[in-house]
Amino acid sequence: MATHQHGAIAATDAHTLSGEKETFDLAAGHELRIELDHTTQVAVTVHAGDAEVFGTPLGVGGRTLVVGPQKVAVYTMGGARVEVQGSPEVMYVGEETPMRQYINVHDVLQAQRDACGRGEAGADGALVAPPKVMLVGPTDSGKSTICKVLANYAVRCGSSPLFVDLDVGQGSLTVPGCVSACAVEHPVDVEDAVFPGEPPVVFYVGSASPSENADLYRHCVERLAGVVEERERRDAVAGSSGILVNTMGWVEGLGYELLLHAAEVLKVNTVVVIGQDRLHAQMKKRLGSGSGSGKVAVVKVAKSDGVVLRSKEQRQEARQRRVEEYFYGLRKDLMPVSQTAKIENLEVYRVGGGPKAPRSALPIGATSVSDPLKISKVGDFRDILNCMVAISHASSPEELLNANVAGFIYVQDVDVEKGTVTYLSPRDGALPSTLMLAGTYRTYFD
């Protein structure tokens, strides 16, 4: 019931690749940008020099498959000869990239990790804290990509930061609707674009935007912060690697407030703002004025021209694909099973009093009484048709909101007359628990 899959054996080989071979001589600091759609894949071979994809090194002579629909850049620090086989939608050389800036940020963070690991004191006499870094920027600024770059560079230096993903819409560790964290111990797998390793710790918010229940989102971020603290307490060495926090692209109004809340509860001490002077100034003013252990470094880096914009539809499609991948695997190599159960044997809860009534609908002077963190048992399962339901690690309903989740099922069909529900489960056999938390976003797939 793991919440993410990885390490699948490449089922593809050279025979399934069509298209010409093309060789590129990349100059130092340039990158080859390759954009793939769902159906294409390319093989990249490095013949000489150094090449990496978002910080994951590609060995000389090795052949790396890039499976769609990915958009990647093969960057070289000192120059490289790279051969690409296949027919990508778009492929071109970017001569200007902010990679150098990102690597400079990494160098500062790594010095901090090392000093923290050695128990050194900083200029102010206090022990150097592990870098706790939050990446912020508008949608399509390259946040997730820079997280990969920084995580990969940390791993290459022998550190293992905790990657924390707070983006419920476009997160990279598990299905949509979650905040999650995993220790990064190996570079990102280029073929599948995933962080390999242990399954992440996951808390279920249940919607693809935190606006639906911002209190629940905050609550889940706080629980996740508890996991981070626990790791630091338990393992000082791992703790000195710090954390890298990916965030959502909603940086105005409530979105901005939620970023500040996350920075506070996760005790972030470095904020990296991508490409927006306004956000940088705002963040700096708000967070950068502390002193001592409350001091936050707010730095700005440029957005890469290579970042590919995604439409609303593409985002929605990407979410659906993540759900499909969860059940069927990245290479359609998993076998989920459809099972039918008696509704009376399941304990499915949902959070919040549903959508709050607009103020205008309430009697004058009254405030909405719905408690956003109230849990209630789902009575009519038709309400959760086509929803993802999280199987909780909780042992009682009271614990539901504080427990992380073991995995998910997808509600396929509800038969009210028979009192049964049919759901898709990642695997055969009994569910690890009958205590569950339903989400609200619906997804449809064949």
> Smallest distance, Å, CB 154 to ligand ATP?
17
Binder of residue 140, out of Mn ion, ligand ATP, none (CB less than 5 to 8 A by kind): ligand ATP
Residue 306 in the binding site for ligand ATP (CB under 6 A): yes
Say if CB 83 and CB 44 are below 8 A apart. Answer: yes
Q: Is the CB of 115 or the CB of 251 nearer to ligand ATP?
A: 251
Say if CB 267 and CB 239 are below 8 A apart. Answer: no
Q: Is the CB of 33 or the CB of 143 nearer to Mn ion?
A: 143
> Smallest distance, Å, CB 41 to ligand ATP?
15
DSSP one-letter code for 213: G
Q: Is the CB of 97 or the CB of 144 nearer to Mn ion?
A: 144
Cross-sheet strand order for the sheet of 41-49: 21-26, 80-85, 41-49, 63-67
Among 64, 70, 110, 144, the residue binding Mn ion under the rule CB under 5 A is 144
Residue 33 in the binding site for ligand ATP (CB under 6 A): yes
Q: Can you tell me the distance from the alpha carbon of 268 to that of 244, in angstroms, rounded to the nearest whole number?
A: 9
Query: Which DSSP string corresponds to 90-159?
Result: EEEEES--THHHHHHHHHHHHHHHHHHHTT-B-TTSSBPPPPEEEEE-STTSSHHHHHHHHHHHHHHTT-
Residue 148 in the binding site for Mn ion (CB under 5 A): no
Cross-sheet strand order for the sheet of 178-183: 201-204, 178-183, 162-165, 243-246, 132-136, 270-274, 297-301
Residue 143 in the binding site for Mn ion (CB under 5 A): yes
Total interface residues for ligand ATP by CB under 6 A: 21
> Smallest distance, Å, CB 163 to Mn ion?
12
Cross-sheet strand order for the sheet of 56-58: 56-58, 51-53, 71-75, 31-35, 90-94
Nearest residue relative to ligand ATP (C-beta): 306
Q: Is the CB of 112 or the CB of 170 nearer to Mn ion?
A: 170
| Residues whose CB is less than 8 angstroms from the CB of residue 124 and which lie 6 or more positions away in sequence, other chains included | 292
Interface with Mn ion by CB under 5 A: which range of 8-16, 163-171, 323-331, 356-364? 163-171
Interacting positions 145-174 with ligand ATP (CB under 6 A) = 145, 167, 170
Burial 107-120 (b: 16+ CB within 10 A, else e): eebbebbebbbeee
Nearest residue relative to Mn ion (C-beta): 144
Instruction: Give the β-pairing of 132-136 and 243-246.
Output: parallel
| Residues whose CB is less than 8 angstroms from the CB of residue 315 and which lie 6 or more positions away in sequence, other chains included | 169, 170
Interacting positions 61-100 with ligand ATP (CB under 6 A) = 71-73
> Smallest distance, Å, CB 31 to ligand ATP?
6
Interface with ligand ATP by CB under 6 A: which range of 114-122, 201-209, 258-266, 305-313? 305-313
DSSP one-letter code for 431: -
Say if CB 207 and CB 168 are below 8 A apart. Answer: yes
Interface with ligand ATP by CB under 6 A: which range of 141-149, 174-182, 197-205, 350-358? 141-149
Closest CA to 352 of 368, 372, 377: 372
Closest CA to 356 of 367, 370, 336, 377: 370
Among 55, 86, 142, 426, the residue binding ligand ATP under the rule CB under 6 A is 142
Interface with ligand ATP by CB under 6 A: which range of 134-142, 155-163, 326-334, 369-377? 134-142
Binder of residue 139, out of Mn ion, ligand ATP, none (CB less than 5 to 8 A by kind): ligand ATP
Say if CB 381 and CB 348 are below 8 A apart. Answer: yes
Phi-psi region of 140 (alpha: psi -120 to 50; beta: other; left: phi over 0): left
| Residue 123 burial class via C-beta count within 10 angstroms: exposed 0-12, middle 13-18, buried 19 and up | exposed
Among 45, 170, 180, 270, the residue binding Mn ion under the rule CB under 5 A is 170
Residue 4 in the binding site for ligand ATP (CB under 6 A): no
Interacting positions 371-400 with ligand ATP (CB under 6 A) = none
> Smallest distance, Å, CB 298 to ligand ATP?
18
Structure tokens at 268: 């972030």
Interface with Mn ion by CB under 5 A: which range of 137-145, 221-229, 293-301, 323-331? 137-145
Q: Is the CB of 157 or the CB of 308 nearer to Mn ion?
A: 308
> Smallest distance, Å, CB 55 to Mn ion?
16
Q: Which residues bind Mn ion (CB under 5 A)?
A: 143-144, 170
Q: Which residues bind ligand ATP (CB under 6 A)?
A: 31, 33, 71-73, 137, 139-145, 167, 170, 249, 304, 306-308, 310
